[in-house]
């Protein structure tokens, strides 16, 4: 059972690693890396479910009868684009946070916000 | 950046090839793997390579940010415009069969235009991202 | 082009108006484009709702001419036509009002970006509402969320950036959970069309893949709709975004997420599976009650008007989820009416807050002393909105809470009915705090001169406040439609 579904183990381990990084790390860049890992694990799950045993790439050609399911791959193309956009936006926030606060460590930023509550609200 | 002769010479050789390859991926997308997303990223990569070798200012002169921003809008408009054109000709949104007399031709034109729109927008977005991040001054 | 094209227009109009804003760039032209686009979307939504109510049937639209279940289908029935109306209506009012007040917080050069992002956000929200394809929900969700993050980051204070970043991290986690849930559903059934999914799931033995899919979908949607205790992103995001953005997002983003949750639970999984087999109500009901109380109590102790309203939003979301968790026709209808109530009222209150921020230059409650007599129109709208938030008769808030209480009694849960009334008392407390300061305290001696807020903002606030009154009296339009929508959903899911 474990050997037949090894891709689920990879997905689960990657996903929990990503989630753990997002939750535990205070560095904003590291959080984004964790977020990416998390998204990639889901993308892997989709791609692996499209595989048909013995199937080839889904391009119609002579001599091939069995093709992999292309739908999950197409869906994941969109999800990858979403991931890229999210990462770019997150990084741009981090750049601007660094300009505004001089740090990308979450606890340092929080400490600065506590000092200035009210004044810049 | 007057030094790095090898880099500059190689870049001048490579960049047109990358752009050509992008166009191939773009227009061969009807028949094989490829399409707007991939082509757009490859095309943007050539522009970014140009900026890395010859400097951001040179790249901005060759591909002005305002034009790139217009590209972002133009691509989406081309995509949506194709859909609206098919609506105006009586079919559903993005149903290309109505775009030409022959449904097969219609499908062909439709996917070509839509993918071109995607390609333009992806190129423009990637270049804009690069400009924005690279153009940011470093604060200490 | 005929009436059958309307569902697609709902997405196409704002989608195409956004690049036009970017291409034209002039602040005034961009604003005009956005105004035209939002009002025409509203017109489309009105026609759609009328059509659906008149014929009693859903409008189905095959995107690209490909028939479902393989093609992507847009499907408008009584429920999402109602949600479409709310989203387009609020957007139209808020966008129209935002020309002048926006200049307070954003340089003119950035206006076109604001309008483009607003239109894209609207595209995403309308797309999520109108589509019948599960994967489309994820794509449109991300479109609306990404533009919402960038809109929030446009706030004046640097804390807007950290708020947007925090929202992005939480929101992406939520979106990815939804994606995972949809993937598991696809794995189990091989379909992405919601109606087709429902049919295939019904004929299926209970299996763990579907159970996991339900768990991930509910979790993801709960993050997106800010269900307690997953609401931590909301108060800061609402408090530090530009005021107009808050007025828009508070009324639409969480509401559409709630709609998505309703659609998946009742339109895909069905009540038998979600509530009778998986006992989702045992999770959702306590969380909803906790949201109603804890967030209201926190709101009572806020010193800043914006944060107070934001926490009140979390509490109101609790009412909606409570209605859903009864899993009955009446409960669902109560949730839907409360969705309408909260969207209209909270948007109105945040518009008042925007006007106050311009007029007084602060949103701290202690700075609002005596403001009622100096900005009577503004604070008048606040009083009306506050009454509806509490649920006083003749406002739409009363209608929704009345239905919710009846649903609780019908389910034999009279303690829940008592809790609904008790938590409304907390709303009295926090609304009264502001009203007392604004109307019954004398202004401070050294209070600076009050600036006249832009008339557009006050007009918009009153338009929405008036809607809360009108629909509180003519309940057919809200409770009637909501009951029909709820009945339709319960029929589908049983």
- Mean pLDDT, range C192-219, rounded to an integer: 88
pLDDT of residue B140: 46
Does B127 reside within a domain?
Answer: yes
Given pLDDT bands bounded at 50, 70 and 90, which one contains residue C165? very high
Q: Each residue of C318-344: b (16+ CB within 10 Å) or e?
A: bbbbbbbbbbbbbbbbbbbbbbbbbbb
CB atoms within 10 A of CB C315: 27
Q: Is pLDDT of A119 > 50?
A: no
pLDDT of residue C258: 93
In chain C, the number of structural domains is: 1
Distance of CA A77 to the CA centre of its chain: 13
Annotation: CATH topology of A6-115: Helix Hairpins (1.10.287)
Does C457 reside within a domain?
Answer: yes
pLDDT of residue C157: 84
Chain B: closest CA distance from residue C104 (Å):
25
| Three-class HEC string of chain C | CCHHHHHHHHHHHHHHHHHHHHHHCCHHHHHHHHHHHHHHHHHHHHHHHHHHHHHCCCEEEEHHHCCCCCCCEEEECHHHHHHHHHHHHHHHHHHHHHHHHHHHHCCHHHHHHHHHHHHHHHHHHHHHHHECEHHHHHHHHHHHHHHHHHHHCCCCCCHHHHHHHHHHHHHHHHHHHHHHHHHHHHHHHCCCEHHHHHHHHHCCCCCHHHHHHHHHHHHHHHHHCCCCCCCCHHHHHHHHCCHHHHHHHHHHHHHHHHHHHHHHHHHHHCHHHHHHHCCCHHHHHHHHHHHHHHHHHHHHCCCEHHHHHHHHHHHHHHHHHHHHHCCCHHHHHHHHHHHHHHHHHHHHHHHHHHHHHHHHCCCEHHHHCCHHHHCHHHHHHHHHHHHHHHCCCCCHHHHHHHHHHHHHHHCCCHHHHHHHHHHHHHHHHHHHHHHHHHHHCCCCCCCCCCCCCCHHHHHHHHHHHHHHHHHHHCCHHHHHHHHHHHHHHHHHHC
pLDDT of residue C391: 86
What are the pLDDT digits (tens) for C369-420?
888 888 888 888 889 999 998 888 888 888 889 999 999 998 888 888 899 8
- Indicate which of C15, C65, C131, C143 best probes the interface with B, i.e. most B CBs within 10 Å of its own CB: C65
**Which domain does B10 fall in, by range?**
5-134
- Mean pLDDT, range A91-97, rounded to an integer: 92
| Residues sharing a CB contact under 8 Å with residue A28, sequence separation 6 or more, in sequence order | A94, A97, A104, A105, A106, C165
What are the pLDDT digits (tens) for C242-293?
888 999 998 899 999 999 999 999 888 888 888 888 888 888 999 999 999 9
Given pLDDT bands bounded at 50, 70 and 90, which one contains residue A1? very low
- Mean pLDDT, range A16-30, rounded to an integer: 92
pLDDT of residue C141: 94
What are the pLDDT digits (tens) for C81-109?
999 999 999 999 999 988 888 887 888 88
pLDDT of residue B99: 78
pLDDT of residue A117: 52
Does C339 reside within a domain?
Answer: yes
**Is C415 in CB contact (< 8 Å) with chain B?**
no
Does B36 reside within a domain?
Answer: yes
pLDDT of residue C287: 92
pLDDT of residue A121: 37
**Is B64 in CB contact (< 8 Å) with chain C?**
no
Nearest to C63 among B73, B77, B92 (CB): B92
Given pLDDT bands bounded at 50, 70 and 90, which one contains residue A120? very low
- A contacts of C168 (beta carbons < 8 Å): 86, 89-90, 93
* Domain layout of chain A by residue ranges: 6-115
pLDDT of residue B138: 59
Chains that touch C (3 or more CB pairs under 8 A): A, B
Residue of B nearest to A78 (CA): B37
Asked if A95's CB is within 8 angstroms of B133's CB, the reply is yes
Does B139 reside within a domain?
Answer: no
Query: Percentage of residues in chain A with pLDDT exceeding 70?
Result: 91
**Which domain does C447 fall in, by range?**
279-494
Minimum mean pLDDT range among C58-72, C83-97, C181-195: C58-72
- Mean pLDDT, range C42-64, rounded to an integer: 88
Does B14 reside within a domain?
Answer: yes
pLDDT of residue A118: 45
Minimum mean pLDDT range among B10-14, B117-121, C185-189, C359-363: C359-363
Sign of the alpha-carbon torsion through C111, C114, C120, C125: negative
d(CA C238, CA C160): 9
Asked if B84's CB is within 8 angstroms of C12's CB, the reply is yes
| Residues paired with residue C193 on neighbouring β-strands, in sequence order | C133
Asked if B77's CB is within 8 angstroms of C23's CB, the reply is yes
pLDDT of residue C494: 61
Chain C: closest CA distance from residue B13 (Å):
34
- Residue pair C383/C352 in contact (Cβ under 8 Å)? The answer is no
Does C346 reside within a domain?
Answer: yes
Nearest CA among C203, C192, C210 for reference residue C69:
C192
In chain B, the number of structural domains is: 1
Sign of the alpha-carbon torsion through A39, A40, A41, A47: positive
Does B106 reside within a domain?
Answer: yes
Low-confidence residues of chain B, pLDDT below 70?
A: 1-2, 138-140
pLDDT of residue C485: 86
Nearest to B87 among C1, C15, C18 (CB): C1
- Residue pair C75/C58 in contact (Cβ under 8 Å)? The answer is yes
Does B140 reside within a domain?
Answer: no
Asked if A93's CB is within 8 angstroms of C168's CB, the reply is yes
- B contacts of A74 (beta carbons < 8 Å): none
HSE (CB half, 13 Å, CA atoms) of A18? 22
- C contacts of B95 (beta carbons < 8 Å): 64-65
pLDDT of residue A2: 53
What are the pLDDT digits (tens) for A40-74?
999 999 988 888 777 777 777 777 888 888 888 88
- C contacts of A100 (beta carbons < 8 Å): 158, 161
Q: Is pLDDT of C37 > 90?
A: yes
User: How buried is residue C410: exposed, middle or buried, by Cβ count under 10 Å (0-12/13-18/19+)?
Assistant: middle
Does C261 reside within a domain?
Answer: no
**Is B128 in CB contact (< 8 Å) with chain C?**
no
Mean of all residue pLDDT scores within chain C: 88
Chain B: closest CA distance from residue C19 (Å):
4
Whether pTM exceeds 0.90: yes
Residue of A nearest to C155 (CA): A121
């Amino acid at each position: 059972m474990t050997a037949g579904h090894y891709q689920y183990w990879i997905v689960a381990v990657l996903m929990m690693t990503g989630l753990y990084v997002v939750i535990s790390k205070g560095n904003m860049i590291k959080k984004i890396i964790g977020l990416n890992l998390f998204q990639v694990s889901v993308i892997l799950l989709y791609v692996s479910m499209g595989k048909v045993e013995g199937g080839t790439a889904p391009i119609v050609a002579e001599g091939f009868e069995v093709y992999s399911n292309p739908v999950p791959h197409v869906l994941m193309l969109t999800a990858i684009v979403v991931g890229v956009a999210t990462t770019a936006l997150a990084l741009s926030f981090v750049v601007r946070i660094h300009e505004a606060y001089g740090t990308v460590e979450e606890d340092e930023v929080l400490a600065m916000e506590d000092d200035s509550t009210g004044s810049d609200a | 950046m007057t030094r790095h002769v090898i880099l500059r010479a190689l870049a001048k050789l490579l960049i047109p090839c990358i752009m050509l390859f992008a166009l191939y991926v773009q227009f061969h997308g009807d028949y094989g793997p490829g399409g707007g997303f991939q082509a757009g990223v490859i095309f943007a990569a050539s522009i970014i390579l140009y900026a890395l070798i010859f400097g951001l200012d040179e790249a901005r002169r060759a591909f002005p940010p305002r034009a790139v921003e217009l590209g972002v809008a133009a691509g989406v408009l081309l995509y949506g415009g194709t859909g609206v054109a098919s609506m105006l000709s009586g079919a559903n949104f993005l149903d290309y069969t109505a775009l030409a007399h022959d449904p097969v031709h219609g499908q062909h034109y439709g996917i070509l235009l839509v993918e071109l729109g995607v390609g333009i927008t992806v190129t423009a977005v990637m270049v804009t991202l690069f400009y924005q991040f690279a153009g940011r001054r470093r604060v200490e | 082009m005929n009436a059958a094209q309307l569902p697609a227009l709902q997405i196409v109009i704002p989608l195409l108006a956004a690049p036009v804003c970017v291409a034209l760039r002039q602040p005034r032209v961009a604003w005009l484009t956005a105004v035209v686009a939002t009002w025409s979307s509203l017109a489309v939504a009105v026609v759609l709702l009328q059509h659906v109510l008149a014929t009693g049937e859903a409008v189905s639209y095959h995107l690209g001419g490909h028939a479902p279940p393989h093609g992507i289908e847009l499907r408008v029935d009584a429920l999402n036509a109602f949600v479409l109306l709310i989203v387009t209506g609020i957007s139209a009012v808020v966008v129209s009002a935002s020309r002048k007040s926006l200049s307070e917080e954003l340089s003119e050069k950035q206006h076109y970006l604001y309008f483009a992002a607003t239109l894209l956000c609207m595209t995403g929200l309308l797309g999520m509402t109108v589509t019948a394809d599960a994967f489309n929900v994820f794509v449109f969700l991300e479109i609306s969320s990404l533009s919402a993050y960038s809109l929030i980051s446009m706030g004046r204070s640097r804390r807007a950036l950290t708020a947007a970043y925090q929202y992005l991290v939480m929101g992406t986690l939520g979106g990815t959970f939804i994606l995972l849930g949809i993937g598991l559903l696809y794995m189990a059934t091989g379909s992405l069309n919601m109606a087709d999914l429902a049919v295939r799931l019904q004929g299926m033995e209970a299996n763990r893949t579907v159970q996991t899919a339900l768990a991930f979908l509910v979790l993801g949607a709960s993050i997106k709709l800010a269900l307690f205790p997953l609401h931590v992103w909301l108060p800061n995001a609402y408090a530090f975004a530009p005021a107009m953005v808050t007025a828009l997002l508070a009324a639409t983003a969480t509401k559409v997420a709630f709609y998505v949750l309703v659609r998946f639970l009742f339109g895909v999984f069905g009540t038998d599976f979600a509530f009778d087999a998986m006992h989702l109500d045992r999770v959702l009901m306590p969380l909803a009650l906790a949201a109603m109380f804890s967030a209201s109590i926190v709101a009572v102790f806020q010193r800043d008007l914006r944060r107070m309203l934001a926490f009140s939003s979390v509490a109101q979301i609790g009412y909606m989820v409570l209605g859903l968790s009864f899993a009955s026709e009446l409960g669902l209808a109560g949730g839907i009416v409360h969705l309408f109530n909260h969207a209209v009222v909270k948007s109105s209150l945040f518009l008042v807050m925007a006007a106050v921020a311009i007029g007084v230059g602060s949103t701290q409650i202690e700075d609002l002393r005596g403001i009622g007599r100096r900005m009577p129109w503004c604070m008048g709208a606040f009083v009306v909105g506050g009454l509806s938030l509490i649920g006083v008769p003749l406002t739409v808030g009363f209608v929704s809470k009345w239905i919710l209480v009846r649903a609780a009694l019908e389910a034999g849960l009279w303690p829940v009915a008592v809790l609904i009334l008790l938590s409304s008392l907390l709303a009295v407390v926090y609304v009264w705090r502001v009203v007392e300061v604004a109307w019954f305290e004398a202004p401070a001696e050294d209070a600076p001169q009050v600036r006249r807020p832009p008339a557009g903002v006050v007009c918009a606030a009153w338009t929405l406040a008036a809607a809360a009154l009108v629909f509180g009296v003519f309940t057919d339009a809200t409770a009637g439609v909501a009951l029909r929508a709820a009945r339709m959903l319960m029929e589908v899911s049983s």
